Amino acid sequence: MANLLQLIKKASAETFYSMAPCDNIIGTVVSVKPLRIKITEKITLEKVNLLKLKSDYILNSTVVLSRCQGGDKYVILGELIE
């Protein structure tokens, strides 16, 4: 019975973490054409599609992104102004 309970706990934890609920993250623009945004040392978004990019977008600007459920899509919310 204890093994069944552990198996259920493990399955539900794996399901929750695989869903990757939305999360706001910070990224850095490393290239404008093509637009590339670095979000960690290992992860750089390279296939970034935007309808319109403001004309004064510069390198090394910090942006706020929202990671969509599932973790494979991101929405750029805007530039971070400090």
Instruction: For 17-29, give the DSSP string.
Output: HHH---EEEEEEE
Which residues neighbour 19 within 8 Å (Cβ) at sequence distance 6 or greater? 69, 70
- The structural domains of the chain, with segments of one domain joined by +, span 20-79
pTM tops 0.75, yes or no: no
pLDDT of residue 56: 59
What pLDDT was estimated at residue 70?
Answer: 67
26-39 average pLDDT score: 87
Secondary-structure class of domain 20-79 per CATH: mainly beta
- Over 60: is that where the pLDDT of 71 sits? yes
- Average pLDDT, stretch 34-63? 76
> Which tokens belong to 82?
């400090």
Quick one: average pLDDT of 28-57?
A: 77
pLDDT score at 38: 93
